[in-house]
A and B are shown apart, each in its own frame.
Chain A
Amino acid sequence: KAGVTQTPRYLIKTRGQQVTLSCSPISGHRSVSWYQQTPGQGLQFLFEYFSETQRNKGNFPGRFSGRQFSNSRSEMNVSTLELGDSALYLCASSLDRVKLYGYTFGSGTRLTVV
């Protein structure tokens, strides 16, 4: 059974640019959650999508957005990149709520903003 696939694995972008990251969940999983991981702030929740609807959102500026497609694949977009957006972006998929079904995390996309 394939795991959670995140692409690309590494990205280097320039301040002011925008970036789109992709997450393909485990087959049959309808929930995709995104997290940002930095050495200073640790793992922080960005948003969760379930059946193409955003079900919850973390405390991030509007430059961070996401969406989910009918096949449950999800993308997140960061516009007007800042140096502080450099981080490991992780997605996690689940059948539904994490307390019922748990999460499986992907290996992440390492974004470097220069």
Chain B
Amino acid sequence: GESVGLHLPTLSVQEGDNSIINCAYSNSASDYFIWYKQESGKGPQFIIDIRSNMDKRQGQRVTVLLNKTVKHLSLQIAATQPGDSAVYFCAENTHSGYSTLTFGKGTMLLVSP
């Protein structure tokens, strides 16, 4: 499949480890944030979202933390599996009146069996 990023930061973990992927966002006025997963040859897939009135949100095996003070998001993946290997992007909605997302550069997660 096609590469989505040749020089992305890479996080390498062992299967079963917990993974933490970090993202700094750009606009203090952003009020909605999403994490996406992109596998080779596919479009981004929704993982989890969070609104600015929350600090933490949990899904199945995933948790997103939002720190508005330092404009920082993190995605925690519990018990990482080889199928989690992909590029992960954070995105922010900077214009609440529009459907426009500003994406971070992405982090490649590599999970070894």
Question: A residues touching B (Cβ–Cβ < 8 Å)?
Answer: 4, 31, 33, 35, 37, 39, 42-45, 48, 50, 55-56, 58, 88, 90, 92, 94, 96-99, 102-108, 110
Do residues A43 and B42 form an inter-chain contact, with CB atoms below 8 A?
no
Interface string of B1-20 (1 = CB under 8 A from A): 01111110000000000000
Q: Tell me whether B105 is interfacial, beta carbon within 8 Å.
A: yes
Do residues A56 and B100 form an inter-chain contact, with CB atoms below 8 A?
yes
Tell me whether chain A's interface is mostly helix, strand or loop, or mixed. strand
Q: Contacts of B88 on A, CB cut-off 8 Å?
A: none
Q: Contacts of B41 on A, CB cut-off 8 Å?
A: 107
Known: A42-B5, A43-B89. 13 other contacts (CB 8 A): A33-B99, A37-B4, A42-B105, A42-B106, A43-B44, A43-B91, A44-B103, A45-B102, A56-B95, A90-B43, A98-B93, A98-B99, A107-B43
